[in-house]
């Protein structure tokens, strides 16, 4: 298998009838798997869109390239000081890493994600939230630093939505119950970003709980065709 980004779940099964069945949760356009001389290849139950070359199959050849910023990369910045920032290596994190910060009343740790946007356009913004064993805060602000196209609506883990013009430019703030997102992508909708290196998302605790862990993991921008 080859991939330029982490793959959360992948399984390749070779059946007696000559079928290679690939199950892949992440539609990574760089994902390549070995299928050998299989007579037929299925990807998530459907016929593969690409053809194997030399026994290798590019699993998702038509998917657009994703802009990914992980908590372990240079694009993640701690905006508040303190000694409670804890980078963690664990398979529950996207790419086997996540960062957490313990929460106490009136503590407001904040992290910011800066992405290199390859081309001006519309992108779906998603943040990965691992379902760690310790509880997570029920009020976390996710601030998108982009122009809204089709923002996520209130409901589910999204408790409130408001505009914020106080940070040197218009932004949209989603108050999220982080405990309701369990090892999945929090979808914040579609936004327009200009080309270049720029902040795309900030995550900040606004809960006055005592003891939960605010988690920071990967953020991705998926081009919208």
Domains and CATH numbers, the chain: 10-58 (no CATH), 67-223 (2.60.120.260)
Compute the mean pLDDT over every residue in the chain, rounded to the nearest whole number.
Answer: 92
Residue 3: which pLDDT band, with cuts at 50, 70 and 90?
low
Which of 54-63, 131-140, 145-154, 207-216 bottoms out in mean pLDDT, i.e. has the lowest?
A: 54-63
151 vs 102: CA distance, rounded Å: 29
Predicted confidence (pLDDT) at residue 63 exceeds the cutoff of 70: yes
Q: Which residues contact 83 (CB under 8 A, 6 or more apart)?
A: none
Strands of 46-47's sheet, edge to edge? Answer: 10-14, 19-24, 40-43, 46-47
Backbone angles phi and psi of 116, in degrees to 5: -95, 100
Predicted confidence (pLDDT) at residue 35 exceeds the cutoff of 90: yes
Predicted confidence (pLDDT) at residue 152 exceeds the cutoff of 60: yes
Residue 30: which pLDDT band, with cuts at 50, 70 and 90?
confident
Which of 6-15, 51-60, 128-137 bottoms out in mean pLDDT, i.e. has the lowest?
A: 6-15
| 152-184 core/surface letters (b: 16 or more CB in 10 A; e: else) | beeeebbeebeeeeeeeeebbbbbbbbbebeee
| 111-133 core/surface letters (b: 16 or more CB in 10 A; e: else) | bbbbbebeeeebbbbbbbbbebe
Tell if the pTM clears 0.95, that is, is over it: no
What's the 3-state SS for 203-224?
A: EEECCCCCCCEEEECCEEEEEC
Q: What percent of the chain has pLDDT over 90?
A: 78
Q: Residues 182-223: pLDDT tens digits?
A: 999 999 999 999 999 999 999 999 999 999 999 999 999 999
Residue 151: which pLDDT band, with cuts at 50, 70 and 90?
very high
Give the pLDDT confidence score for residue 95 in this predicted structure: 86
Residue 29: which pLDDT band, with cuts at 50, 70 and 90?
confident
């Amino acid at each position: 298998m080859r991939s330029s980004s982490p793959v959360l779940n992948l399984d390749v099964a070779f059946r007696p009838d000559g079928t290679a069945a690939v199950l892949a949760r992440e539609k990574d356009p760089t994902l390549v798997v070995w299928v050998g001389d299989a007579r037929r290849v299925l990807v998530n139950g459907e016929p593969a869109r690409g053809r194997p070359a030399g026994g290798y199959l590019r699993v998702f050849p038509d998917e657009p390239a994703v802009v990914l910023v992980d908590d372990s990369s240079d694009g993640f910045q701690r905006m508040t000081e303190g000694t409670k920032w804890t980078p963690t290596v664990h398979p529950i994190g996207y790419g086997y890493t996540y960062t957490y910060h313990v929460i106490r009343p009136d503590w407001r740790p904040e992290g910011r994600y800066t992405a290199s946007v390859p081309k001006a356009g519309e992108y779906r913004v998603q943040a990965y939230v691992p379902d760690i064993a310790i509880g997570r805060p029920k009020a976390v602000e996710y601030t998108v630093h982009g122009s809204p196209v089709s923002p996520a609506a209130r409901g589910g883990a999204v408790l409130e939505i408001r505009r914020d013009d106080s940070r040197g430019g218009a932004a949209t703030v989603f108050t999220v119950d982080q405990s309701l997102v369990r090892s999945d992508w929090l979808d914040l909708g579609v936004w327009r970003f200009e080309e270049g290196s720029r902040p795309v998302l900030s995550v900040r605790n606004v809960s006055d709980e005592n003891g939960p862990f605010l988690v920071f993991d990967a953020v991705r921008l998926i081009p919208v065709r």
